Amino acid sequence: MAKMWAGVTAGNTDPLADDFNSSLRFDKRMFRQDITGSIAHAQMLAAKGILSEDERDAMTEGLAGILEDLETGTLAIDENCEDIHMFVEQVLTERIGETGKKLHTARSRNDQVALDLRMYLRDENDEIRGLIRELLTVLADLAEEHKESIMPGYTHLQRAQPVSFGHHMMAYAMMLLRDLDRLKDCRKRTNVSPIGCCALAGTTYETDRVLEAGLLGFDGIALNSMDGVSDRDFAVEMLSALAVLMMHLSRLSEELILWASWEFRFITLSDAYTTGSSIMPQKRNADMAELIRGKTGRVYGELMGLLTTLKGLPLAYNKDMQEDKEGVFDACDTVKMCLRVLTPMLQSMQVNTGNMLLAAQKGFLNATDLADWLVKKGLPFRTAYKISGQLVRRCMETGQVLETLPLETYREFSELFDGDVYAAIDLRTCMEKRISEGGTSAASVEKQIAFVRKEIGE
């Protein structure tokens, strides 16, 4: 079929080529941004005397009608169009006649698509940050409730030292605060308007790019027209921020999966976020958490995909850049879905503090504190470490624990031991004594919670 851009060519492309070339399938989701952008463009053109006020009003009304009809589903998108930009312009011309053909004055699809994508990602960025804030609220609430619930803290997945479950939750909160920060930073560079760069070199019309950018809520304009149409850094940055976010969600999911296992039983996921097996009736699978962990891979892939697409592209616009959209759309959809499931999953899970405490009572989590106690009695840390290790080995051989090992046994290893040692190695003491900034004591966890709540504006 003959194209709107039929000029030097007849525009009679092969149907298979049309299909291959078309981005409508995936860029139709930017129809709101496209129409909003076009309304602003008509305003600017009229403000500069390039369009008459009547033409501007006809266009604005026509575009608003198209938006409404698309929102309500009364207007179907013509799948034969090459992209959403062509579709909107085509319908406008059908509806308002010749005036519609003036809309594309002083712009090009190259700056238009960059504009639409920036507006789309700006909204996604805001929405995702909102969802992260909701997750942070749940983490802060859990931390509040469990700032004194003892669990084993691990290194190498070996029991290491006692921590509170609240402290563990706040570790994830800190990661998510950095995610918020990264997204906010990325938004700054997203919110720069490319419109008016035209195809690549600017335009001979006396336009006002700053006015148009302002109408669309941008903080500034691209200062070089060639960069304006070929820059996709904002999409790369978004994907990169989302990849890091998914890495965090995946690590948390992995812990939830472990904790929900029969081996740990630190948490019980609510039935709403647990699936059964088609054959094993006893199963409570943490499918949602596994899927979050699994979906992390595709978001990483989308980041690599876009970086690779852009690598080696000469200036300015190249059709390769049409490949920027599907990956970043999918990444946004994926992240939003993950956050929407993870937040209520955490909120509704049962925390089995009894099992956590039982686990903390095994594994000699207080061995460091035992060594520290000897240091306070005057031994060098390395010597104290060795004695503590020997005592642990003795306990392992005889099936005892440090808390109930008789004082005579302690004294076989060092004359410095006295009855005070028992209070010092009590798990709660071990936890509460970790008062250094950022440590696991309840007071420190409270400070962390207050910080997180302040950051998210609660």
Nearer CB in complex with ligand ARG: 115/452: 115
Identify which of residues 37 and 152 has a Cβ nearer to ligand ARG in the complex.
Answer: 37
Q: Which is nearer to ligand ARG, 84 or 349 (CB)?
A: 84
Among 41, 56, 102, 109, binds ligand ARG (CB under 6 A): 109
SS (H, E, C) 377-392: CCCCHHHHHHHHHHHH
Strands (E), 66-205: 150-155, 158-164, 192-193
Q: Which of 33, 99, 110, 366 is in the footprint of ligand ARG by CB under 6 A? A: 110
Of 27 and 124, which has the nearer Cβ to ligand ARG? 27
Provide the mask over 70-89, with x wherever binding to ligand ARG is found by CB under 6 A and - wherever it is not: -------------x------
Structure-block tokens of residue 254: 């992995």
Q: Which of residues 11-40 bind ligand ARG (CB under 6 A)?
A: 23, 27
Q: Which of 250, 277, 278, 414 is catalytic?
A: 277
State which residue, 210 or 226, has the beta carbon closest to ligand ARG: 226
Site for ligand ARG (CB under 6 A): how many residues? 10
Look-up of token digits 């490949």: 323
Tell me the three-class secondary structure of the chain, residue by residue.
Answer: CCCCCCCCCCCCCCHHHHHHHCCHHHHHHHHHHHHHHHHHHHHHHHHCCCCCHHHHHHHHHHHHHHHHHHHHCCCCCCCCCCCHHHHHHHHHHHHHHHHHHHCCCCCCHHHHHHHHHHHHHHHHHHHHHHHHHHHHHHHHHHHHHCCCCEEEEEECCEEEEEEEHHHHHHHHHHHHHHHHHHHHHHHHHHCEECCCCCCCCCCCCCCCHHHHHHHCCCCEECCCHHHHHHCCHHHHHHHHHHHHHHHHHHHHHHHHHHHCCCCCCCEECCHHHCECCCCCCCCCECHHHHHHHHHHHHHHHHHHHHHHHHCCCCCCCCHHHHHHHHHHHHHHHHHHHHHHHHHHHHHHCEECHHHHHHHHHCCCCCHHHHHHHHHHCCCCHHHHHHHHHHHHHHHHHHCCCHHHCCHHHHHHHCCCCCCCHHHHCCHHHHHHCCCCCCCCCHHHHHHHHHHHHHHCCC
Say whether 156 is catalytic: yes
Report the nearest approach of ligand ARG to the CB of residue 110 (Å): 5
24 or 169: whose CB is closer to ligand ARG? 24
Q: Of residues 113, 316, 328, 374, which one binds ligand ARG by CB under 6 A?
A: 113
Residue indicated by tokens 């709101």: 32
Shortest distance, CB of residue 131 to ligand ARG, whole angstroms? 27
Return the number of the residue (36 or 322) whose C-beta is nearest ligand ARG: 322
Residue 3 or 428 with smaller CB distance to ligand ARG: 3
For the CB of residue 111, give the shortest distance to ligand ARG in the complex, in Å.
Answer: 9
- Nearest distance in Å: CB 353, ligand ARG: 53
- The region of 12-20, 142-150, 319-327, 342-350 touching ligand ARG under the rule CB under 6 A is 319-327
Instruction: Clarify whether 23 is annotated catalytic.
Output: no
Which listed residue (149, 322, 441, 444) binds ligand ARG by CB under 6 A? 322
> Residues 213, 286, 321, 370: which binds ligand ARG (CB under 6 A)?
321
Q: How far is the CB of 193 from ligand ARG (least distance, A)?
A: 16
- Which one of the listed residues 156, 250, 261, 278 is annotated catalytic? 156
| Least gap, CB of 26 to ligand ARG (angstroms) | 9
Near ligand ARG in 230-259, by CB under 6 A: none
At its nearest, how many Å lie between ligand ARG and the CB of residue 85? 6
Closest CB 27 distance from ligand ARG, rounded Å? 6
Binding site for ligand ARG (CB under 6 A): 23, 27, 83, 109-110, 113, 317, 319, 321-322
Which residues are the active-site residues? 156, 277
